[in-house]
Amino acid sequence: MSRVLGPLRQVLRFSGRARRREFWTFAALHFLLLCVMMGVDLWRGGFFSQDVDLDRTPGSGAWSLWNAYYLVTLPIAFAVATRRLHDSGRTGWWVWLVAGPQALGVLLSVLLWLTYEPGSELPGWWTASVLAIGLGFLLGLVLLAAMMCLSGTVGPNRYGPDPRGRAAASKPDEVWGDLR
């Protein structure tokens, strides 16, 4: 339980380091809850149903349950991802590989929401934009996920002490052991 609640106790702490277990436990729970909320929205005819128009009212597709959950938990996810990157000696700015396309998608969605007239067709730029942003997001997600799988640096690094409590090896024999 502490693996799940650990990131919640450090809600907006972007400094320090996070172990792989902390990050992946949080990511799995976050993904599971997002899927449940999307399912609830589908069940009640929310964001993904065919008959939703962008009527700018709460309860319509633009204000779905999973969108609200996602916006509330986004800073927590950014913080735990940043701490995970710190554990492998990387800067937290790498999170923007995924956050950049998401932010651009939100901006384009707001632009569509402000310019869309109910009953009219979607503008021509919408499909190409969604495809380009989606491809950028997926590529960034794969690269970032690969970084999150890497082992953390042994011992303290510039972002803080090793969360596993390991000390850095000081002699070559401690690093290589019997491999020579």
| Between 40 and 58, the higher pLDDT residue | 40
| Between 64 and 70, the higher pLDDT residue | 70
pLDDT at 165: 77
| Tens of pLDDT, residues 126-175 | 788 888 888 988 999 999 999 999 888 888 888 888 888 777 655 554 44
**Bridge partners of residue 67, in order along the sequence:** none
Region 19-41 average pLDDT: 87
* pTM to 2 decimal places: 0.71
Assess contact for 115 and 56: CB atoms under 8 A: no
Residue 117 has pLDDT above 80, yes or no: no
Region 44-50 average pLDDT: 53
Residue 179 has pLDDT above 70, yes or no: no
Q: Which residues of 87-119 are buried (b: 16+ CB within 10 A; e: fewer)?
A: bbebebebbebbbebbeebeeebeebeeebeee
pLDDT at 4: 58
Residue 63 has pLDDT above 70, yes or no: no
From residue 158, how far is each of 90, 153, 166 by CA, in Å? Answer: 10, 10, 15
| Tens of pLDDT, residues 70-114 | 888 888 889 999 999 999 889 999 999 888 888 888 788 778 777
Which H or E run contains 21? helix 20-43
**Tokens at residue 66, please?**
């999973």
pLDDT at 50: 44
Neighbouring residues of 163: CB distance < 8 A, sequence distance ≥ 6: 16, 17, 18, 19, 22, 87, 152
